[in-house]
Amino acid sequence: MPANALVFMYLASGANTLGTPTYRVDDLSALLPSPHTSVAVDVADNGTITGSFTDSTGRRKPFVLDAGGALQFFDGGYYDDRIVRAGNANGLIIGSLPGSTLGWVRISDELRCIPSPFDCESIQSLYTSSLPYDINDAGTFVGSLTIVESGQPYVFQGYRASVGPDHTISVTGLGQYQQRWDTTASAINENEEIVGFAVMDRASADYQPVFLSQGEWLPLGDAGRYQTPIALNQHGVVIGSKRTNDGYRELPLRWSLHSPEQTAVPLPTLPSSISARPNGINAAGEIVGLSYDPDHPSASQAWLLIGDDLFAIDDLVADNPGWRVLAAHAINSRGDIAAAARWAGEAGARAVVLRRQSDAGLFRHGFDVD
């Protein structure tokens, strides 16, 4: 049996862990130029952190804290409001403009529009999509791109893109699932494997998870209501979510690229969870996310899944019980978690990184196998 298959069997089996991990809260908000709401969106294996903070005007500004502790933030002025979607180990970040499907990517010290079929300055570009979803450490990012055909309604395909040495943005369309369904590339790993989803029926929100194989989109498991892959690790373990038939609850799922024909496996949820969403997975197969009540967003709670063991992250923060971790967005190979947390008695959320204090539960990630 190939070594990578053995690794996947371990990760998917819910193997016994070494104990309960503990975490120390590293409050990043103290480093940011504004004390208002902030969030850590991504944490790379080398420790580079990506996130955003909200300034006094209510606009979101991206930041990158590199592995050496140097902070850089991006402020395009009063009207510049940016949503950060993901970042990588080299400080390359991607995101979108609020209320728009146009995306942007960091190029040097600027945030540049990702070209849609029209130039970014064109009024037509406001109605098209170059929305990015995920980026890997090689700098390849993926998302949704508009296909423009004369006299036809706009339709969408997945895309792969990168920034060249000359700072040009190269965007390659990946086509549509079965050459007919609106398709989005929603996640990419370090092996350049790409997963996404195709919208089979807008009225019923029937989405087919897909993966790219030799330039063709193939089905990943079965279709389902808003069934969407969110992230995958280098061993082909895919996480995502779906909605219940009434559209009210969100449920976390896991697939495998080693068995793409298999139906998604439901992930466990916290006892108090109304809805749950997984956001990140590391090389060891550890998954982080949040549980929430759509009617009470401030009551969200972050969680960590190691094998079959599900933890409320609040219970793992040993250094100060005054923190409430609202959402966990990413986890790196060391088990560190990019998150948003609230300090007792304060409004708003702060960008934090939860630093793992032991190897308990962490199956080391030395999986460089063929």
31: CATH = 2.130.10
| Residue 143 included in any domain | yes
| Residue 367 included in any domain | no
| Residue 364 included in any domain | no
Q: 318: number of CA atoms within 13 Å, CB side?
A: 9
| pLDDT < 70: residue spans in the chain | 1-18, 35, 247, 297, 359-370
pLDDT computed for residue 165 by the predictor: 94
d(CA 324, CA 340): 9
* SS3 at position 112: strand
pLDDT computed for residue 35 by the predictor: 67
pLDDT computed for residue 259 by the predictor: 97
| Residue 323 included in any domain | yes
The count of structural domains within the chain is: 1
Contact 187, 195 (CB under 8 A): yes
pLDDT computed for residue 272 by the predictor: 86
Structural domain that includes position 213 = 3-356
Burial 105-139 (b: 16+ CB within 10 A, else e): bbeeeebbbbbbbbebeeeebeebbbbbbbbbeee
| Residue 338 included in any domain | yes
pLDDT computed for residue 184 by the predictor: 98
d(CA 323, CA 11): 30
348: left (phi over 0), alpha (psi -120 to 50) or beta: left
| Residue 368 included in any domain | no
Distant-in-sequence, close-in-space partners of 310: CB < 8 Å, separation ≥ 6: 268, 269, 270, 303, 304
Distances (CA, A) of 148 to 60, 128, 152, 200, 203: 31, 9, 7, 19, 23
pLDDT computed for residue 367 by the predictor: 32
pLDDT computed for residue 28 by the predictor: 94
What are 157-163's contacts with CB under 8 Å, separation 24+?
157/182, 157/183, 158/183, 158/184, 158/185, 158/194, 158/196, 158/212, 158/217, 159/130, 159/185, 160/185, 160/188, 160/194, 161/105, 161/114, 161/132, 162/138, 163/92, 163/105, 163/107, 163/139
| Residue 362 included in any domain | no
Contact 292, 301 (CB under 8 A): yes
